[in-house]
Structure 1
Amino acid sequence: MKKLLIAAIVVLMCMNAFSQGNGSIVSLIPIPVSMQMGQGNFTLKNNTSIELATTDPDAKRVAGFLAEKLSVTTGFKIPVKPVNKASNANGNIALAIVQDATFGNEGYKLNVTPNSISLSANKAAGLFYAMQTLLQLLPKEIESSKVVNNIEWNVPGVTITDYPRFGWRALMFDVSRHFFTKQDVKTFIDNMIRYKYNLLHLHLTDDQGWRIEIKSLPELTKVGAWRPERKGAWANAKPVTADEPKTYGGFYTQDDIREIVQYAKERFVTILPEVDIPGHSMAAVATYPQLSCTPGTYFVNAGEETQVWEKNGNRALIDNTLCPANENVYEFLDKVFTEVAQLFPFEYIHVGGDEAAKNFWEQSEAVKALMQREGLKNMEEVQSYFIKRVEKIVQSKGKKMIGWDEILQGGLAPEATVMSWRGMKGGIEAAKQGHHVVMAPKDYTYVELMQGDPYVEPPEFDILLLDQSYKFEPVPDGVDPKLILGGEACLWSEHVTNMRAAGYELWPRAWAVAESVWSPKENKNWPDFVTRTENQFQRLDIAKIKYSRSMYDPLFIASFDNKGQLKVELHLQVPGLVAYYSFDETNPDEFYPAYKEPLIVPEDALHVKVLTYRDGKPIGKQINMPVEELVKRAKKE
């Protein structure tokens, strides 16, 4: 009992250090494996040097990154000096490659004393992640792109030992729905590495655009990369006509891809390319209509609705699939994957496999003949036939195949890896069959979903609050953890048209996922994460990166009570928030009634106006919720 009590006190002291100590400590995301507070501060000065105690070229590059970042903001000229052995003194920063089984390939030790800072790791990747932690320990002003004067560049005394829980720590970037430039992708990489993500999943093809040059199929980018521009709401767009100018879009040349891959590699990020098939293929079919089971003239989708979701799945309004009974399709894919495999060094290629509507296949005489010839009983087995053939093509290029969990339907390809997005169920099923799994369940990791009340958020098909995202646990009960490669946060871009919008959706929910795939799950703590998130907000303000403050706003849950009265419950995510409300069309403040229990809405009210406060100060945005909207929600319930 005494030992347990001592252990509990130690844990509380560590948590207190994170939540009550130096502000930079609080902001560490993801939370390290272990941290011990030391004495005093290290102060970065204009005579500080970086001592590089290794000849490893990747470590040399890390030292250069660190010197450049520190110099840009402090104005100090910080040289990198090769040494045989770091001095651990003299006000310098030392980087060293060591041999320590604790660290693995990406772990590190960071030690800060008043005299020196030392970063040590088995591999240069570990030094790179140690650098990210060090930057978060510095004052928030380090995020400036300009010199900041009149500040002491203090780093608190601390010893951190840290290493990732999973090797697959990914962010997905959908560059098909809306095209993002080469520089945008580089910026995306710069932002993800801050939080120790190491894999960028690029969704390169979909109904709205083919974004990668295939030299043997030049029409793919001449036709498939372009569509008419639509400026309004997604799925509210009018259908494309033949005579419209098709000038909205773009693509990456193969030289662009090589440049992006190299840029990522230098920052210890691997890129997973995705070519989404057999569904989501309108850009390909618009280019080569003969690849469809359904003859006709097709156009690259501009955001108009193409599918209807019903109880038994999705039904396409227009055939956006590749035809599994057409041998030309497999010849086409062989050309595509030949060039994709040559451009991307990663061992995996993602083939999509999701949301393939099969109603047009059902009407196809060619598909019926295929089923009879191959003994296929249903459309799920037709898709499985397609995916298994695709796997052989991918393997012939020296790569492994990964796909969304629909590739389980009709029988999983022999060596496929499954990325589970429709909850955890698909991943559990694949793991029980002995397959590797990446967890990307939409109810925890789809960061494009609404992160607050639908009335004030960009529209999406569902809601994902930050407190829910933070509950993400990649290893389900009863599953062999060795089969779970890791996890991934997904940014689909139907409503993400630019990098500012991307930032709003990513942060802070991608921080929650980063912590789930890097940190030990026993180190996670929601109230503490909120505090660290708020410190990151200050850093992003200085870095001019957009983020969402929706965690401060209530979610309105409406229903009718047993008397038929309209009842409203407010869900508040952040500890310590108080919501003040009004029904009388005046704007509430802290002198108005505070929300304590579900509200009964007066019959003559037009709005429920709510504003959240913390510590006597307004912190959220005022939401003027129409009673009419609440009635609609209550009727749906």
Structure 2
Amino acid sequence: MKKGVLVIGLLFTLLIQAQQSVNIIPQPLSLKINKGSFVIDAKTTIEASTSNKEVQKVALFFENYVNNVSKVKIKNTAGKSAKKISFLIEKNNELGDEGYTINVSPEAVVVKANSSKGLFYGMQSLVQTLLLAKGNDLVQIPAMEVKDYPRFQWRGVMLDVCRYFLTVDMMKEYLDLMATYKMNVLHWHLTEDQGWRIEIKKYPRLTEIGSVRNGTIIGRYPGKGNTNTPVGGFYTQEQVKELVKYASDRAITIIPEIEMPGHSSAAIAAYPELSCFPKERTKFRDTIFSLKSRKELSEGRIKFVQETWGVFEDVYAPTEYTFKFLEDVIDEILPLFPSKYIHIGGDECPKDAWKRSEFCQNLIKEKGLKDEHGLQSYFITRMEKYINSKGKSIIGWDEILEGGLAPNATVMSWRGEKGGIEAAKLNHNVIMTPGDPVYLNRPQGDPETEPIGGWGVNTLKKVYAYEPIPAELSADQAKYVLGSQGNFWTEYIPTYQHLQYMTLPRLLALSEALWSPKDKRDWKDFRQRLNPHFKSFEKKGLKYSRGDFRTEIKTAIVDNVLSIMLETENPDTVIYYTTDGTVPTTVSLKYAKPIAIDKSITIKAITVLDGKVMTLKPAEQSFVYNKALGKTVKYEKKYSSSYKASGENALIDGIKGTKDITKNWHGFQGNDIVATVDLGNGIMANTISLGCIQNWAKWVFLPQWVKFEVSEDGVNFKEIKTIENTVAPTDKEVVLKEFKVEMPQQKIKIVRVTAKNLGDTPTGHTEEKQKPWLFADEILIN
């Protein structure tokens, strides 16, 4: 009997300890844990101002949460009680509009804020102390003192519901998830080439025709066929109002995006007069267009909702008809959304149609514009003036900088941070949302084992480490950075469960990066606090990724020797590896220090937690041993920050690039590659080679030629040979090509390799006559 009592006591103690740990995400500004806890029981009541409906809503949220996760039933009552949880509005200038304080003692819980928003966030922090509470558990909140307010005012998520539609119930569940982690902006991408998703009563064909595409490509762009399954859906204006209120009740502002002047195929399919060429059929690849669209084409239909991804040249014509259409759309949109902003897109607008259009060319001359970029600026500025006249402000993707920035526009910087930096220096507000690392449609683990996603990998740790304020900005300029957001482009996210998986747990990392003070962020501490949230996801049936268990295989110079380093984001794991190509197990070599390379090898590695292998597939990397390893390489023009591989010496790290252009490749857009390798005192060699790749769909093309030169002093070079490329730039297959020169065995000290950029994307490309990419990896010398 005593033994049974002992076990029960031990379990009770463990339960108390589990519930007393505080794992709030995002990390509060200050948090002090005190002794004891406040136990919620049947005598507990909630106190909130009966005259303030918004405060009452917060109290009701908390009441419902406690009542749902436990068998304890608490009530929101104005009566006296010995045990109270109070939500109070009380002026505190330090907290701002969204800050709060919490004081928990064994006798009472008091949450104070300047506004109902602050109280809502304080309530969410209380809820996070109860993540593991259930059933008959003792429900308690650890005694603590919290003071908290956000670092950034814009903490957002962009949801693209055009590629794949989300129902109202799905949207509500997602808003609940955002609210839990204090995200306060939903950027709602409502119009696209692949679908128009909002009712406009004056233009019913937008939803009758523009909301439905007849099929979708199979697999990654450019596709391997068509599903021949229609995809549609749209929100009525009443549903929009319902969702806007639902979000507002959770301290979230919904900002609609109506794309212009590009990404407008769905609207043009409904109203062809919006096009520069209304009688020209929609351009598409016959091999991937749906059977239904082919049939409709044969019956006389001209314009179609796009069934593939990418950028399309059929864009809005800058005619009075188009401007009246867009003004009418705006007139119906604005009353639905009380937000200060409306997003008008402005990105990826090809100028081909405008160049061919006699009307557009005459308009450029009439308005005294420089070129088609000036015409885009005219288009955006005109729409901005109209939206400003309605008391609203515009946001646009960073392309709205081209040709001149509209006077009051806020810039959303997605092509890296360059556009955001430029806009901030012009005293314009900026939202930083670079593809690397906050495009959350990209995989969060090894692309070979993760579901198909956007190009690149944005891991949990990478998102957590993101700093929205670039070092290039002064303190005054940094004030124009409103914050950041995670973007979900849903080309490869066809279901709500898949969206959950791509969201979790990276949403939590982003929330802490945007809410918590920079000096409070601690990756290891965050990773520990994440564990009970994982259990909460499981309890709620939410899908989430464990992608941060993958093993990263990198190279580094250690004691002047090129070595292999194995890393994983999870600090609690152990790595086991092999060097002979066999599959590692828990009895393989345990990684403890960098592995020196003295021959060509294949490393395979697994990540293990508590004896369990966490990686679905071993990480694998082959290393090609050659005489350039461990040397230094310099470029005449630096590679793009978007394609920097493992860093400066990725071109001579022994890792050959594969067909995955997001790994190991250095990328150069519009520039030649001129790389010089310093071999120190010199080596004996008779071959030099450079690896390149062609990926037509991604604008990556093989060089026109590659020239190999050697030198004794780095000044005077002797050409060994120039090798011409034999692969046509119109070849749409992914091609890996090694340019290799053989020469008599000789001593060489310095090697220079020059690869000539194609110059322009080829005729017939979707982005014809644009600056192409040139990718290189690896230089091998033997």
Q: Cα deviation per residue 1:218-241 (whole Å; 9 max; x = unaligned)?
A: 00001110012437324244688x
Which of the two has higher C-alpha Rg? 2
Say if 2:323 is the partner of 1:319.
no
State the secondary structure of the residue aligned to 2:126.
helix
State the secondary structure of the residue aligned to 2:479.
helix
Q: Cα deviation per residue 1:250-294 (whole Å; 9 max; x = unaligned)?
A: 000011101111111111211100011111111111112221223
User: Conserved in 2, the CA contact under 8 Å of 1:227 and 1:248?
Assistant: yes
Determine the structure 1 residue equivalent to 2:98. 106
Determine the structure 1 residue equivalent to 2:157. 171
User: Conserved in 1, the CA contact under 8 Å of 2:20 and 2:37?
Assistant: no
- Structure 1 residues 431 and 306: CA distance shift in structure 2, 3 A: closer
| Alignment-mate amino acid for residue 532 of structure 1 | R
Say if 2:335 is the partner of 1:335.
no
| Alignment-mate amino acid for residue 360 of structure 2 | V
Structure 2 residue aligned with 1:130, among 99, 103, 122? 122
Determine the structure 2 residue equivalent to 1:454. 447
- Structure 1 residues 189 and 204: CA distance shift in structure 2, 3 A: same
State the secondary structure of the residue aligned to 1:49.
strand
Q: How many residues align?
A: 588
CA distance in structure 2 between the aligned counterparts of 1:363 and 1:585, rounded to whole angstroms: 57
- Structure 1 residues 450 and 176: CA distance shift in structure 2, 3 A: same
| Alignment-mate amino acid for residue 573 of structure 2 | L
Determine the structure 2 residue equivalent to 1:269. 252
CA distance in structure 2 between the aligned counterparts of 1:555 and 1:498, rounded to whole angstroms: 29
Determine the structure 1 residue equivalent to 2:483. 486
CA distance in structure 2 between the aligned counterparts of 1:196 and 1:377, rounded to whole angstroms: 45
Say if 2:451 is the partner of 1:465.
no
1:363 positional shift: 2.2
Q: Cα deviation per residue 1:318-358 (whole Å; 9 max; x = unaligned)?
A: 4231123x221111101111111111111110001111122
CA distance in structure 1 between the aligned counterparts of 2:41 and 2:474, rounded to whole angstroms: 53
User: Conserved in 2, the CA contact under 8 Å of 1:558 and 1:631?
Assistant: no
- Structure 1 residues 628 and 343: CA distance shift in structure 2, 3 A: farther
TM-score, normalising length from structure 1?
Answer: 0.86
CA distance in structure 1 between the aligned counterparts of 2:601 and 2:150, rounded to whole angstroms: 56
State the secondary structure of the residue aligned to 1:574.
coil
Determine the structure 2 residue equivalent to 1:442. 435
Spell out the pairing of 1:201-600 with structure 2 (5 A cutoff).
Answer: 201-230=187-216, 232-237=218-223, 247-295=230-278, 296-298=280-282, 299-307=303-311, 318-324=312-318, 326-457=319-450, 458-476=452-470, 477-480=473-476, 481-556=478-553, 570-582=566-578, 587-595=583-591, 596-597=593-594
1:59 positional shift: 0.4
1:602 positional shift: 8.3
1:493 positional shift: 0.9
Say if 2:145 is the partner of 1:141.
no
State the secondary structure of the residue aligned to 1:201.
strand
| Alignment-mate amino acid for residue 423 of structure 2 | A
| Alignment-mate amino acid for residue 454 of structure 1 | P
User: Conserved in 1, the CA contact under 8 Å of 2:70 and 2:136?
Assistant: no
CA distance in structure 1 between the aligned counterparts of 2:213 and 2:205, rounded to whole angstroms: 14
CA distance in structure 2 between the aligned counterparts of 1:545 and 1:529, rounded to whole angstroms: 20
Structure 1 residue aligned with 2:58, among 62, 72, 94? 62
User: Conserved in 2, the CA contact under 8 Å of 1:171 and 1:488?
Assistant: yes
User: Conserved in 2, the CA contact under 8 Å of 1:271 and 1:346?
Assistant: yes
| Alignment-mate amino acid for residue 171 of structure 2 | V
| Alignment-mate amino acid for residue 607 of structure 2 | T
TM-score, normalising length from structure 2?
Answer: 0.71
1:22 positional shift: 5.3
User: Conserved in 2, the CA contact under 8 Å of 1:404 and 1:421?
Assistant: yes
CA distance in structure 1 between the aligned counterparts of 2:444 and 2:40, rounded to whole angstroms: 39
User: Conserved in 2, the CA contact under 8 Å of 1:236 and 1:303?
Assistant: no
- Structure 1 residues 570 and 535: CA distance shift in structure 2, 3 A: same
Q: Mind listing any 5+ residue stretches in structure 2 that lack a counterpart?
A: 1-16, 283-302, 557-561, 625-654, 659-663, 665-690, 692-775, 778-782
- Structure 1 residues 211 and 234: CA distance shift in structure 2, 3 A: farther
CA distance in structure 2 between the aligned counterparts of 1:281 and 1:515, rounded to whole angstroms: 35
CA distance in structure 2 between the aligned counterparts of 1:91 and 1:518, rounded to whole angstroms: 31
CA distance in structure 1 between the aligned counterparts of 2:234 and 2:623, rounded to whole angstroms: 44
Determine the structure 1 residue equivalent to 2:171. 185
CA distance in structure 2 between the aligned counterparts of 1:454 and 1:117, rounded to whole angstroms: 46
- Shifted more, 286-295 versus 116-125: the winner is 286-295
CA distance in structure 1 between the aligned counterparts of 2:202 and 2:623, rounded to whole angstroms: 56
User: Conserved in 2, the CA contact under 8 Å of 1:415 and 1:435?
Assistant: yes
CA distance in structure 2 between the aligned counterparts of 1:599 and 1:397, rounded to whole angstroms: 66
Determine the structure 2 residue equivalent to 1:38. 34
Q: Cα deviation per residue 1:78-131 (whole Å; 9 max; x = unaligned)?
A: 110125xx86xx333122111221222211111111122111112111111111
User: Conserved in 2, the CA contact under 8 Å of 1:238 and 1:304?
Assistant: no
CA distance in structure 2 between the aligned counterparts of 1:553 and 1:614, rounded to whole angstroms: 12
Q: Cα deviation per residue 1:510-535 (whole Å; 9 max; x = unaligned)?
A: 22221122111111111111112223
1:473 positional shift: 1.9
| Alignment-mate amino acid for residue 154 of structure 2 | W
Using CA pairs under 8 Å that are at least 6 residues apart, name the structure with larger relative contact order, 1 or 2.
1
CA distance in structure 2 between the aligned counterparts of 1:26 and 1:617, rounded to whole angstroms: 27
CA distance in structure 2 between the aligned counterparts of 1:297 and 1:246, rounded to whole angstroms: 22
Identity %: 39
RMSD of aligned residue pairs (Cα, Å): 2.8
| Alignment-mate amino acid for residue 324 of structure 2 | E
CA distance in structure 2 between the aligned counterparts of 1:57 and 1:557, rounded to whole angstroms: 56
CA distance in structure 2 between the aligned counterparts of 1:509 and 1:229, rounded to whole angstroms: 31
- Structure 1 residues 245 and 576: CA distance shift in structure 2, 3 A: closer
State the secondary structure of the residue aligned to 2:93.
coil
CA distance in structure 2 between the aligned counterparts of 1:50 and 1:589, rounded to whole angstroms: 54
State the secondary structure of the residue aligned to 1:82.
coil
Spell out the pairing of 1:13-24 with structure 2 (5 A cutoff).
Answer: none
State the secondary structure of the residue aligned to 1:117.
strand
Determine the structure 2 residue equivalent to 1:28. 24
State the secondary structure of the residue aligned to 2:91.
coil
- Shifted more, 294-303 versus 389-398: the winner is 294-303
- Shifted more, 284-293 versus 24-33: the winner is 24-33
User: Conserved in 2, the CA contact under 8 Å of 1:581 and 1:609?
Assistant: yes
Q: Cα deviation per residue 1:588-617 (whole Å; 9 max; x = unaligned)?
A: 222101344358698796xx5431024554
State the secondary structure of the residue aligned to 1:173.
strand
Structure 2 residue aligned with 1:622, among 614, 617, 620? 617
State the secondary structure of the residue aligned to 2:348.
coil
Determine the structure 2 residue equivalent to 1:71. 67
User: Conserved in 2, the CA contact under 8 Å of 1:449 and 1:463?
Assistant: yes
State the secondary structure of the residue aligned to 2:423.
helix
CA distance in structure 2 between the aligned counterparts of 1:261 and 1:306, rounded to whole angstroms: 30
Determine the structure 2 residue equivalent to 1:313. none
| Alignment-mate amino acid for residue 64 of structure 2 | E
CA distance in structure 2 between the aligned counterparts of 1:474 and 1:371, rounded to whole angstroms: 37
- Structure 1 residues 172 and 305: CA distance shift in structure 2, 3 A: closer
